[in-house]
Amino acid sequence: MAEQGRNPINNRYEFVLYFDVADGNPNGDPDIGGMPRQDPETMHGLVSDVAIKRKIRNYVAENFEDTEGLEIYQTDGSVLNEAHKRAYDAEKVKPTPKKPPKDKATADAITRWMCDTFYDVRAFGAVMTTEINAGSVRGPVQVTFARSVEPVTPFDISITRGSVTNEKDRDKQRTMGSKYIVPYGLYRLHGYINANCARKSGFGEDDLELLWAALRDMFDFDRSASRGEMAARRLIVFRHDSPLGNAQAHKLFDRVTTHRRAPDNPFAGGALDIPPARAFSDYEIRVDDTNLPQGIQIFEPF
């Protein structure tokens, strides 16, 4: 696919995002009744990459619904083939079931239309080879599972409901239910932005600024009864001065470390008597910016 005309980014990036939850469920696992996701061996909490991307999508959709080039491809209840058909109509081409246009330039133009129209296709990529084939795009923005910096202990909280569902149950007493919460957890996520993929999808500087804003504010647009207290706490970005990069990502991530602060009033004054974390202020995040590899810049958008 040919390069886009959207001023795509020309630098590689990696980033570390810290976010936390208090008395909520950051990402329920439907396979175990909605219990917060955990690593079963270490009991560290997990939040899936899919959940984070969904929050970014929702942030863009709710704030820029009518902005050209910032539509969202994967929305709740959307029919993907209808979006593909719009691309074919824009290029005045009739689709052939499951096959892209035979002419490569036309096929590329249809995929370009999808990239130019939908923010999440431009950012995260998409496999659009369905009944109406709009090609595929490898997204420049990828994120990992988020993992809590310490083990978390979910609680199953019993709740009651004072109403009933059916008329025949009118005289019954309150019904019982339950919900899961994590008392407190600080989570760390790694992200990668590939400039070469951005050049192909058209992910530009404005798109990058929107990504930083979405990471900062996405939890404010995702409130629910189970996720009332979630917040993005810190975003540390490594910027390379070239598309290919100037250092290995894992070595840059190693420069960011998380430490427990000594409590003001430990239970018994001993090193092993640090109480469970219950606030972001219980942690200190350190960034080692000494002897940075040449061509690497560290900055924090918020």
Query: Per-residue pLDDT tens for 25-37?
Result: 999 999 888 899 9
Q: CB–CB of 245/293 below 8 Å?
A: no
- Asked if the model's pLDDT at residue 66 lies above 90, the reply is no
> Quick one: angle between helices 205-217 and 49-63, nearest 10?
110
Query: Per-residue pLDDT tens for 161-171?
Result: 777 677 777 76
Q: CB–CB of 80/130 below 8 Å?
A: yes
pLDDT of the residue at 115:
98
Round the average pLDDT of the chain to a whole number and report it.
92
Q: CB–CB of 238/15 below 8 Å?
A: yes
Q: CB–CB of 61/51 below 8 Å?
A: no
pLDDT of the residue at 6:
66
| CA nearest neighbour of 203 among 215, 194, 212 | 194
β strands within the chain, DSSP E: 13-24, 28-29, 35-36, 44-47, 125-129, 133-138, 141-143, 146-151, 155-161, 175-193, 230-240, 256-260, 283-287, 296-299
CA distance 192 to 186: 20
Percent of the chain with pLDDT over 70: 92
Q: CB–CB of 38/44 below 8 Å?
A: yes
Q: Is residue 68 packed enough to be buried (19+ CB in 10 Å), middle (13-18) or exposed (0-12)?
A: exposed
CA distance 239 to 241: 7
pLDDT of the residue at 266:
54
Neighbours of 39 (CB within 10 A): 14
Please state the pTM of the whole predicted model.
Answer: 0.91
Looking at per-residue pLDDT, the higher value among 179 and 246 belongs to: 246
Q: Is residue 108 packed enough to be buried (19+ CB in 10 Å), middle (13-18) or exposed (0-12)?
A: middle
Query: Per-residue pLDDT tens for 77-110?
Result: 889 999 999 999 999 999 999 999 999 999 999 9
pLDDT of the residue at 159:
79
pLDDT of the residue at 264:
67
Most confident of 3-17, 26-40, 150-164: 26-40
Query: Per-residue pLDDT tens for 104-131?
Result: 999 999 999 999 999 999 999 999 999 9
Least confident of 197-211, 217-231, 261-275: 261-275
State whether the Cα torsion 116-120-122-126 is positive or negative. Answer: negative
